[in-house]
Amino acid sequence: MSSRRATIADVAREAGVSASTASVVFSGKVVVSDATRAKVIAAAESLGYTGPDPRAASLRTGRAGIVAVLFRERLGAAFRDPVNAAMMDGLSDALAPIGAGILLLRDEGPDAPATAPSLTSAPIDAAVLLGCNEIVRASVETVRGRGLPVAVIEGDAGADIPRILLDNREAQRQAAEHVRSLGHRDVAIVTLPRDGARRRGFHDDEAGITVDVTRDRLQGARDVYPDAPAYATAESSIDEGLAAGRVLLAGVRPTAILAQSDMLAAGVIRAAEEAGLRVPEDLSVTGFDGIVVDGLAPYALTTLVQDAAAKGRAAGEAVVAMLEGREPASLTLSCTFRRGNTTAPVSVSAGKALGPRSDSAG
């Protein structure tokens, strides 16, 4: 028995129709009668034909039908964050009209295995880069060197690269001004990673921050609190927020903490509860993103709400435009301030020393 893969011509002969008719049944681009469709599908099933060979389609169109998405962080960590999941939903929706799939990549740098798929070797038609730091900027040059379209979400990779931005600085300023209006003066900041190395710890030199989102949100907070200490985390997660909160609440504590993501804010709240503090009576906390965080009830975060799906859609639309020879659009989206129950006027008990802790995280 021949092991040759059945072709669309085989299906057409079996169904008693032309090859072009059988082809459009699978492409869905032309309407055919229900009876004809049923004959073609039955013939395909009897021959074990599962659809057009994607390699042949790639040769005909000159495209791989794949758009790469490059993440800064580990993919497991990336998809624990609902913001990334919503962005990917939006991106998928925008790419659907051109039938493009998505290849997820993490830039491993020089330590990546030689056989690992990368922006240099993967068969892709375009790339979307999430965030911008020194590693991602180098990736832009890699993609452009291949002559492929590239778009960046929340980062500036150059004037000729379409970018989808949030008003991060202005949004974070709104949260800081809200906290100041409640009388808080001793405020600390928990930030997203400051560079590709994702090192934890205090950082005062904004010039050393290479992640655009982190720098922009920090500048927004310091527009209101110029001397507020900032503690960098390794990723946007509850565990990282918990570790940062333990550090900031040791000794003389702030009366409010501005976190650069809702996940980090949830971790800070856990650290406050662990220390016997009440939120918001003893400590006010703000987040950023407007997502649902499991296990946070009865708290409703005071936060900045962004439309993450819209960011992904806009990036996908820019990619589609470039692939179709049209001018892509850059876009800046706005966040909406939402007051929850995690902020309150500063109290007389706020800001007192808790004393030394044996489980502080550094």
Concatenated DSSP letters for 153-189?
A: ESS---TTS-EEEE-HHHHHHHHHHHHHHTT--SEEE
Question: Do residues 229 and 149 both lie within one domain?
Answer: no
Helices (H), the chain: 8-15, 19-27, 34-47, 54-61, 75-78, 82-95, 134-145, 168-181, 212-222, 238-248, 262-274, 308-323
**Helices (runs of H) and strands (runs of E) counted in the chain:** 12, 13
Greatest pairwise CA separation for the chain in angstroms: 86
Domain limits for position 37: 8-52
**Tokens coding 167:** 């008003």
Q: Are residues 200 and 321 in the same domain?
A: no
Residue 247 within a domain: yes
Residue 362 lies in a domain: no
Do the domain assignments include residue 61? Answer: no
Pair (175, 159) in one structural domain: no
> Are 149 and 99 contained in the same domain?
yes
In this structure, the answer to whether residues 153 and 76 fall within a common structural domain is: yes
Q: Which residues of the chain have pLDDT under 70?
A: 1-4, 27-30, 50-63, 73, 107-117, 132-137, 348-362
Residues 198 and 312 in one domain: no
pLDDT, one tens digit per residue, over 66-92 is 998 988 767 777 778 889 889 999 999
Tell me the two tokens of residue 337. 């301030």
Whether residues 91 and 154 share a domain: the answer is: yes
Query: Domain with 151 in it: what CATH number?
Result: 3.40.50.2300
**Which tokens go with 100?**
């493009």
**Within a domain: 343:** no
177, 250: one domain:
yes
95 with 210, same domain: the answer is: no
Give the model's pLDDT for residue 115: 53
Residues 284, 207: one domain?
yes
Extract the tokens encoding 261: 């993501």
Same domain membership, residue 149 and residue 189: no
Same domain membership, residue 299 and residue 186: yes
Q: Would you say residue 206 lies in a domain?
A: yes
For the chain, the domain total comes to: 3
Q: Is there a domain that residue 201 lies in? A: yes
Domain membership flag for residue 58: no
Q: Is residue 293 part of a domain?
A: yes
